[in-house]
Amino acid sequence: MTQENMILQHLLRHKTIDPMTAISKYKIMRLASRICDLRSRGIKIESVTVRNKETGTHWTEYRLIP
């Protein structure tokens, strides 16, 4: 199964994916690139920036657009 397909299946099952999930579950280091590949195939995915108020860190979470 390709990385794109793993991400798509994860999104269908769990609704969202973030870089840490992609690394820990699927060993995918370049999630943003794979999301770009999925978008180029016509799959509608939105990006949402998530911020941790306590630490000031932020990351991107990806969701399928219905």
Identify the residue whose tokens are 């999630």.
Answer: 31
Looking at residue 55, its pLDDT comes to 94
| 24, two tokens | 């820990």
Identify the residue whose tokens are 């269908």.
Answer: 12
pLDDT digits (tens, 9 = 90+) for 15-60: 999 999 999 999 999 999 999 999 999 999 999 999 999 999 999 9
Looking at residue 66, its pLDDT comes to 87
Looking at residue 41, its pLDDT comes to 97
- This prediction has a pTM of 0.90
Q: How far is CA 51 from CA 38, 41, 42, 59, 62, in A?
A: 25, 29, 28, 7, 14
Q: How far apart are CA 47 and CA 43, in angstroms?
A: 13
| 8, two tokens | 């798509």
Indicate the DSSP class of residue 22.
H
Among the four given CATH numbers 1.10.3720.10, 1.10.760.10, 1.25.40.10, 1.10.10.10, the one describing domain 3-64: 1.10.10.10
